[in-house]
Amino acid sequence: MRRRYPASRTGRRVLIFARRSTLEKTKGSLVIVGSGINTTCHLTQEAIARIKSAEKVLYVVGDPIGKNVISRLNPEAESMASFYEPGKPRMTTYEQMIARMVECVVAGLRTCAVFYGHPGVFAYPTHEAIRRLRGQGYQARMLPGISAEDCLFADLGVDPAQHGCQSYEATQLALYRYKLDPTVALVVWQPGAFAQHTYSAEEYDLSRLPELLAYLSEFYPLEHEVCVYEASIFPECEPRADWIPLRRLVEVPLTSASTMYVPPVRRAVPDPAALERLGLPVATSPRPA
Ligand SMILES: C[S@@+](CC[C@H](N)C(=O)[O-])C[C@H]1O[C@@H](n2cnc3c(N)ncnc32)[C@H](O)[C@@H]1O
């Protein structure tokens, strides 16, 4: 809200200054868009328009084609991938990304940041940059993108409406011991970076993965079939969808692009009293697992 100043000559000057400084402060802005998992095919029309019209583009996408697509849309595009360094805590990298986004906006630039997948899904720096910039009075917003989970639903034929869906980060799942419901589908993110707080350009040391397996086995039989899934990052290519018994989780290769899908073990049974209270026929209850 604008403050009122006395109507003296000096006062008017103060008012003009206050208006101008507000305008100058809000000139820089941030929009964060997602490149999807397969940048060539998943960039939305809205994201393309924002990348093209931005005065500064910052991006974090893994695939080389994605980098070319973004650089062609805007030659001012600057990769933030160099903030990742082997052995460096991921939080340090995220803080550097946030600082760079904030720096560009405060410098007065209409800034567009591109993060892979959906920019707000398992992406701390995006939400945090928006929160900090809004706190300083700048315009900052996020546009949705296609996440790995969206690709999983399409490739594996999973509809979260059918059984519901639990979605957890692998390390947090084992750490916070979230209670799992085996009648509900489960998506486990980042199993390939289990118990790691630093970045590695190579595959991670997964010697602690049995801890995740032990926790999952408290809810699921070891013979239950689960899927190690990797959406294709290139057009016209098939995803990886390896169905294995849960017990083999510690044997199969897991990469930084792996997501695990665990189907429900059995169907949920509707509560007869709730059916009656809601006046619904049994047919509206979930279909068999
Ligand atoms: C830091 S999160 C980023 C998620 C991303 N923002 C999104 O919307 O999908 C990284 C995790 O996303 C998942 N992921 C990334 N790329 C993937 C792919 N190509 N296929 C399946 N899962 C993927 C994996 O679980 C990976 O460990």
| 12: annotated active-site residue | no
CA 73 remoteness from chain centre: 23
Instruction: Specify the CATH number of the domain 27-146.
Output: 3.40.1010.10
For residues 191 and 260, the answer to whether their CB atoms sit within 8 Å is yes
Q: Could you state, in order of their start, the residue ranges of all structural domains in the chain?
A: 27-146, 149-262
For residues 126 and 120, the answer to whether their CB atoms sit within 8 Å is yes
Question: DSSP letters of 2-69?
Answer: PPP--SSHHHHHHHHHHHHHHHHHTTSEEEEEE-BSSHHHH--HHHHHHHHH-SEEEEE--SHHHHHH
Which residue among 83, 97, 189, 227 is best mutated to probe the pocket of ligand 1, counting the most ligand atoms within 8 A of its Cβ? 189
Ligand 1 centroid to residue 12 C-alpha, Å: 54
Cα radius of gyration rounded to whole Å, the chain? 24
- Given 116, 138, 229, 261, the catalytic residue: 116
Question: Can 27-146 and 149-262 be said to share one CATH topology?
Answer: no
% residues pLDDT > 90 (the chain): 82
pLDDT in tens, 103-149: 999 999 999 999 999 999 999 999 999 999 999 999 999 999 999 99
ipTM of predicted assembly, 2 dp: 0.99
| 90: annotated active-site residue | yes
CATH fit for domain 149-262, picks 3.40.718.10, 3.30.950.10, 2.60.40.60, 3.10.580.10: 3.30.950.10
| 59: annotated active-site residue | no
pLDDT in tens, 43-78: 999 999 999 999 999 999 978 889 999 999 999 899
Question: DSSP letters of 82-115?
Answer: GG--TT-BHHHHHHHHHHHHHHHHHTT-EEEEEE
Determine the Cα–Cα distance for residues 61 and 59; give it in Å rounded to an integer: 6
